[in-house]
Structure 1
């Protein structure tokens, strides 16, 4: 760790990523690349990192599914409303607390120990200030919503903010070096803690406060493991030597994150004030269901996006090819999943949340279809942050926030269906803004994008034929039973695999590579287990 902080701009893993990563074309110049098996080892190691990242996200999603499915049967929509308003408040202050320091450590040209200590100091000061402000302002927020119980909720979650200065810098350094196995261990342990504490407390009758205590427990588990696995506790000594560089990037990044969080929660905040907490619970669960495709299929890719694009930018290479190729992969997964969700919204809601939430099915369908336009947004922030466009990323987030707020205020008077249409409109406007800004830093013609996405559109269309055929057989109704929904989903996945191969989509080769890495990782794990068992047998025999 010490050598990494004091040494060159790129760690060996980060440099190798630029040469070998299949999702981002180009990379570092070929000079100095090692031929033969060493280059292959680099590629295998990097894909193994991606494998760990995706696996960690799937474990977290599975745990979240268990938690949501359990709590949806234990808590009322109003009780969920408390957690949504609390999460909105915490999400907002979290952006202020982080102040972009994590992103700075990932994308910076060089990272010295002094820079890391400065980032820690900035985050520590802001965490103390934000946590104290939230603690003192909790009663005011609760009074605004006429919900006295929010005070205690916000007090508990404010304590969780104090762990951030110790967790975030350590995680940022691990991500910069693409050490996603360590990151996976930390995040899985945190997710297990959060889920276990929340569910157990809900079963014990803690109501909405179970969320707050679960968040607190998960935050401190994250901090403890991050410090342990990162290994260098000297970064936690206060310093302000690099404050100009940290604050310059962090100011814009923090503002962008704050605007993004506000845009995410503004509709729920408005619903809570103008309609009611039960409506907040309904609307937030609809949005949560619609976010599942991205969380299940794309979230494992996002932690590596900024480090990878930062390597490309530091090498002075164009990011356009990387952006277009990655977007081709993203749409091949995102579009079919969203169309399938729109068709299977009824059984999905029944499986995830239970019958009492059936009224949100139309909301899920509207929002899922609206999210089809979101593909330019997925890599917009990492690309802008990596290429020096963090100011434009902040402006994009601000414009989207203003649009979202105005549409939410205009549509709230007509109910939740109109709010869902407003969300779909906001996504489309955000996509236009993101695409315009991305093309400033990674110039390409719109025709190039359309050509690169045509096979993804074909894959989406072919895979959707299965639920549409079931819709026709079911009397032109999407009200499938849970078992029928599962069967249709399996059929759609099979159709998707066939479509990927029929269209010769670029994702086909990457799927084969991912499966190969997974097989190698599993074989390595089984080999370790067999070796340990053999050692144990020999020890027992000698005894």
Structure 2
């Protein structure tokens, strides 16, 4: 069987990958924010909630049909053509089967919610499933190659195509289905662009040679993914039945706003972490050192960003969503503080997968997520949306503690190691918060800040954070220097570790 070569990954290559991934995430978030800001003014909260309910169902199914193929391709030590072709075969079969299932059951789902319009949204969404069999394996190969420059271009271009279709249809009065046609467009654009970037047509010859090992890995990986997605989306589905689509929209928009720091900063690490850790471990490196270093960098950015979001929830929601979403800022403030405990989350799955403990990742999800959902559902059923947001103050530390138990068993990281990382990040968070807290406390309108006060809070927080980085000599200072060097050499850099010609010749 033809093998797929791999090589050592240098720190310089990892930094370049993170930089391109950040460009990808920043521009993708700009597109998402533009879409959200525009559509929030074109659709009512009830219409938005209707789409978000359909979207929750589709994303749950969509993540199951990927079947962990990308993760498998990235982490497999001795990848062969037969493995990649078998991965394509699995996705193709699942995509066709699940797309047909969505179409056949859409009328029953619409009847359950008493909303006939939901059937149309689900049926249209099913068309987007046809693109994944092409894009899934290719994007896995690009990630394995650390080709994040190409990945960034593909994601940004497909996101732009989806934005244009969504907003155009929104202005033409198509309503919630505008979002769905945007999703379908982005799905097919992603497949076409992936194939242009990596025209490896041999992938598309079906093969069952490695089905058994793919099924074993994919079942575990899919269970993790679907469990996490279910925890994210089941509240939306429950609120749609219990509290109405308005509540779904308010809760979902609060989650969207609260995820802005993660999407803009931390999510840039998501595509890079697993390939980097897997390559680092194949080369004999210490996963524990990589975990602690990564955690320190993530918390150093995420904690200050979430504190700033909690303080600026009112102006952020007003600018992003408009005046009809006044119930969102109180939820955002609670969620932002709760999310601070989830800083290690981005590293948990990559660490466990790269050390060959994917079953531990499954067990961690199966323990923490059902408990979390029960807490959130009980809060919604008895107390309402603000209680759901407040429940994150309990849920987030619970999830992190359970995940840490498995990470500790995998790489031997101790409480003292975590405390050292937390102390440095807490100093940065404190330095960031001092001036903004003083401004908010002195404001006669509290959190409802004017433009001048908002700009003063942003400037005070940024200067405080930067000063704290240098005063405590945080490791992030060296990473910032590395980014500066990278930007100076960007026109001549090549993030891909293996030339494209080598792939084409196989």
Q: Are 2:470 and 1:501 equivalent residues in the alignment? A: yes
Alignment CA distance shift 1:71-1:487 (3 Å): farther
> What are the Cα deviations for residues 306-354 of structure 1, in whole angstroms up to 9, with x where unaligned?
1011113323443111111100000000000001111111111111111
Which stretches in structure 2 are left out of the alignment for 5+ residues?
Answer: 495-506
Q: For residue 8 of structure 1, report the CA deviation from its aligned partner.
A: 5.4
2:113 counterpart of 1:145: yes
SS in 1 for 2:356: coil
Question: How far apart, in 2, do the equivalents of 1:8 and 1:149 lie?
Answer: 47
Tell me the alpha carbon deviations over residues 4-48 of structure 1, each in whole angstroms, 9 at most, x when there is no partner: x934552x3xx1x2xx22xxxxxxxxxxxxxxxxxxxxx2x5433
Alignment of 1:448-527 (within 5 A): 448-475=417-444, 477-521=446-490
Contact 1:377 1:435 (C-alpha < 8 Å) held by counterparts: no
Matches within 5 A, 1:404-415: 404-413=372-381, 414-415=383-384
Q: Take 2:47 and 2:373, find their aligned partners in 1: how far apart are those partners?
A: 24
The answer on whether the counterparts of 1:95 and 1:255 sit within 8 Å (CA) in structure 2 is no
Q: 5+ residue gaps in structure 1?
A: 22-42, 526-543
Is the 8 Å Cα contact of residues 73 and 84 (structure 2) preserved in structure 1? yes
Asked if the contact 2:165–2:182 (Cα under 8 Å) also holds between the matched residues in 1, the reply is yes
CA separation in 2, counterparts of 1:202 and 1:273?
Answer: 26
* TM-score in terms of structure 2 length: 0.95
Determine if contact 2:221/2:358 at 8 Å carries over to the other structure: yes
The one of 432, 435, 452 aligned to 2:404: 435
Q: Within 5 Å, which residues of 2 pair with 1:76-475?
A: 76-413=44-381, 414-475=383-444
**Paired residue secondary structure (2:259):** helix
Structure 1 residues 524-539: aligned runs within 5 Å: none
Partners of 2:193 and 2:42 in 1: CA distance? 31
1:422 CA displacement:
2.1
Q: Highest CA radius of gyration, 1 or 2?
A: 1
Q: CA deviation at 1:282?
A: 0.4
The correspondence for 1:6, drawn from 2, 5, 14, is 2
2: CA distance, partners of 1:319 / 1:486: 41
Deviations 1:217-263 (A, max 9, x none): 00000001111111211111100101122111111001111111000
Shift of 1:483: 4.6
Equivalent residues of 1:339, 1:460 under 8 A apart: yes
Alpha-carbon shift at residue 523 of structure 1 (Å): 7.9
Q: CA deviation at 1:462?
A: 0.7
CA 1:519 to 1:318, structure 2 compared with 1: closer, same or farther past 3 Å?
A: closer
Structure 2: distance between partners of 1:231 and 1:47: 27
Deviation (angstroms), 1:135: 0.9
Number of the residue aligned with 1:532: none
1:398 Cα deviation after fit? 2.0
Distance 2:439 2:311 in 1: 10
Alpha-carbon shift at residue 476 of structure 1 (Å): 7.3
RMSD over equivalenced CA pairs, Å: 1.6
Distance 2:293 2:253 in 1: 33
Instruction: Report the secondary structure of 2:344's partner residue.
Output: helix
Shift of 1:213: 0.2
Under a length normalisation based on structure 1, what TM-score does the superposition of the two structures give? 0.88
